[in-house]
Amino acid sequence: RHGKIVSLDETKAHWSTIYSTTSATDTGNGLTNILQIKKQDDTFSHYPAFAWTHRKNKADETYSNASATGVWYLPAKNELKVLYAGYSGITSLWDDFSNMPDYNNPNRAAARKAFDSKLEAAGGNAFTTNYYWSSSEGDNSLAWEVNFSNGYTTNLNESSPDMARCILNF
């Protein structure tokens, strides 16, 4: 068996504290993006959300294997959209700069409530209804985020503190 799991905890952090093009633009694999950030800032000192993620892993993690298992990372934009879709009980994705279709359907709300209950039963935190960072950069000052109240996917300022939650391949 293989798949992805989501961390039980989350944090509120800046994506970056400096404006710099990072080459972390992969929208499908967050492990590729964290490697690009590490190449620029080995200690993640200017990338608080990535620093929080890195502390969940072994101190000597290099992120050099884009298909690694057992390594926590911030999801790329489309991985984060897949997470929100699963959280809402659907499997299809939607266009950027728009809400997830049918996000306010009672079945979608019930699926999110059930998912949150499972997180809490496992000793974790429920998702908030705020924006969550992806690891995908849009340009030198913007990174992709997904709003966990309606699935709206957009680029926002990297220096804004928003939510971050890791995923892991198994």
pLDDT attached to residue 148: 99
Number of Cβ within 10 Å of residue 96's Cβ equals: 16
- When the pLDDT of each residue in the chain is averaged and rounded to a whole number, the result is 97
- Give residue-wise pLDDT tens across range 43-54: 999 999 999 999
Residues 6+ apart with CB under 8 A from 139: 21, 155
Among residues 72, 63, 65, 5, the alpha carbon closest in space to that of 34 is found at: 63
- pTM for the predicted model, two decimal places: 0.96
Determine the average pLDDT of the residues in 141-161: 97
Assess contact for 144 and 113: CB atoms under 8 A.
no
Average pLDDT over residues 88-93: 95
- Using alpha carbons only, give the angle 24, 30, 32 rounded to the nearest 5 degrees: 60
Mean pLDDT of 97-101: 97
Q: Give me the residues paired with residue 157 across strands.
A: 142
DSSP character string of the chain: ---EEE-S--EEEES-SS--------SS-HHHHHHHHHHH-TT-TT-HHHHHHHTTS-TT-----TT-SS-EEPPPHHHHHHHHHHHTT------TTSPPTTTTSHHHHHHHHHHHHHHHHTT-PPP-SSEEEEEEESSSSEEEEEETTT--EEEEETTSEEEE--EEE-
